[in-house]
């Protein structure tokens, strides 16, 4: 039989052992990482920089997330990938998400990294406005035909027979002064400049094109089942973006690791363009904080798609986005 003093001694040793085990285990529990896969819309580039910065600086890990970023490309369909359960989040476009809702794919947008869609038109110097595109050949990718082209066509009275496929080479544009082509302000103007070609760039958003750009999209099931995880991912990604635009070196190293063809000079040009055009912190984000979305902007995009015949009227269209993860963005 144990004596009282011995019982106390045994209890004391057991307690210390339990506490020691708990102390050792606690850090492990604290840093348990939830695996997340994010699918981008193109090859790694500066316009994806916030994601890579959050990886490089351990921001995702700080928020308990083990994130894998998968590059997109011309043959990668992010909507199909997330619908098949092969990604948890994707880099989306408002038109794609609204179309997905119409087609019964239960997706929803949880944040807008860019306050504007960074799509526009590259022209030769003789063009003074998008209205001057009448009679010119316009090069566009297939995705453009189902997003910005119906809006541009209606707004400026353009015609389908003006269009030709864009093969992601600027050579046809350089060879013909009567050609204009789609582009992004941080990419094609730089390529033209390096080739000694003078161009103009017209950002569609400056003409009233309402969609957001580089949105964060997930499934409605994810929002329902794991809202706290979604919140952490949104917060960490936006932190990554703010850091990237302040000092992009860490993110750039990972961008070049995923995409070795990416040049330092192009990355620097793109970063400057994003900052100058206030993609992250312009518009409503100037007051409400990066990532913000509004019902008004989404309604404008939905109305545009219905008016242009890209969508049928849909009472459930607002399933395409949620504002629940966008509180206190200024903190």
For residue 324, which of 65, 14, 134, 110 has the smallest C-alpha distance? Answer: 110
* pLDDT above 90 for 328: no
Give yes or no for a contact between 326 and 114, defined as CB atoms under 8 angstroms apart.
no
Give pLDDT, residue 17. 41
Q: What is the mean pLDDT of residues 95-113?
A: 97
Higher pLDDT residue, 256 or 4?
256
Measured N-to-C along each axis, helices 49-56 and 249-258 cross at an angle, to the nearest 10 degrees, of 110
Backbone angles phi, psi at 216, to 5 degrees: -100, 120
Q: How confident is the model over 316-327, as pLDDT tens digits?
A: 999 999 999 999
Residue 296 has which token pair? Answer: 């008004």
In the chain, domain spans? 34-117+210-320, 120-207
Split at pLDDT 50, 70, 90, the class of 31 is low
In angstroms, the CA 47 to CA 322 distance is 23
In angstroms, the CA 316 to CA 322 distance is 13
Split at pLDDT 50, 70, 90, the class of 214 is very high
Residue 176 has which token pair? Answer: 């013909």
* pLDDT above 80 for 154: yes
Interior CA angle at 322 toward 317 and 328, to 5°? 155
Q: How confident is the model over 279-306, as pLDDT tens digits?
A: 999 999 999 999 999 999 999 999 999 9
Residue 98 has which token pair? Answer: 């609204």
Place of tokens 């046809």: 172
Give pLDDT, residue 32. 81
Share of the chain above pLDDT 70, in %: 90
Interior CA angle at 258 toward 253 and 260, to 5°? 80
Same topology, domains 34-117+210-320 and 120-207? Answer is yes
Split at pLDDT 50, 70, 90, the class of 261 is very high
Burial class, 75, CB count within 10 angstroms (exposed 0-12 / middle 13-18 / buried 19+): exposed
Q: At the top level of CATH, which class does the domain 120-207 belong to?
A: alpha beta
Give yes or no for a contact between 147 and 242, defined as CB atoms under 8 angstroms apart.
no
Containing H/E element for 91? Answer: strand 89-92
Q: Is 324 helix (H, G, I), strand (E, B) or coil?
A: coil
Q: Give the CATH architecture of domain 34-117+210-320.
A: 3-Layer(aba) Sandwich (3.40)
Q: Mean pLDDT across the chain, nearest whole number?
A: 91
Q: How confident is the model over 51-99, as pLDDT tens digits?
A: 999 999 999 999 999 999 999 998 899 999 999 999 999 999 999 999 9
Measured N-to-C along each axis, helices 264-276 and 227-246 cross at an angle, to the nearest 10 degrees, of 110
């Amino acid at each position: 039989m144990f004596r009282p003093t011995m019982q106390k001694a045994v209890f004391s040793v057991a307690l210390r052992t339990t506490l020691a085990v708990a102390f050792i285990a606690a850090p492990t529990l604290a840093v348990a990482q939830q695996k997340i896969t994010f699918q981008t819309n193109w090859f790694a580039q500066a316009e994806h920089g916030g994601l890579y910065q959050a990886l490089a600086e351990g921001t995702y890990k700080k928020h308990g997330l083990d994130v894998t970023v998968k590059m997109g490309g011309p043959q990668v369909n992010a909507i199909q990938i997330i619908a098949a359960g092969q990604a948890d989040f994707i880099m989306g476009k408002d038109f794609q998400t609204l179309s997905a809702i119409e087609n019964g794919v239960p997706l929803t947008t949880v944040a807008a990294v860019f306050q504007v869609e960074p799509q526009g038109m590259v022209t030769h110097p003789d063009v003074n406005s998008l209205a001057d595109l009448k009679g010119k050949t316009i090069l566009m990718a297939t995705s453009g035909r189902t997003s910005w082209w119906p809006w541009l066509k209606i707004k400026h009275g353009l015609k389908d027979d003006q269009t030709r496929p864009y093969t992601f080479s600027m050579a046809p544009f350089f060879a013909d002064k009567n050609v204009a082509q789609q582009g992004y302000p941080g990419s094609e103007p730089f390529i033209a400049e390096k080739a000694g070609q003078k161009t103009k760039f017209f950002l569609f958003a400056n003409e009233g094109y309402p969609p957001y750009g580089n949105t964060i999209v997930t499934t409605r099931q994810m929002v329902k089942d794991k809202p706290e995880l979604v919140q952490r991912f949104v917060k960490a990604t936006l932190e990554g973006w703010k850091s990237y635009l302040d000092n992009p070196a860490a993110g750039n190293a990972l961008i070049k690791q995923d995409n070795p063809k990416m040049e330092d000079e192009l990355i620097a040009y793109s970063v400057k363009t994003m900052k100058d055009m206030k993609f992250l912190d312009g518009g409503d984000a100037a007051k409400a904080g990066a990532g913000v979305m509004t019902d008004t902007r989404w309604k404008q995009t939905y109305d545009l798609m219905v008016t242009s015949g890209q969508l049928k009227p849909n009472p459930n269209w607002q399933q395409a986005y949620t504002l629940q993860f966008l509180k206190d963005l200024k903190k």
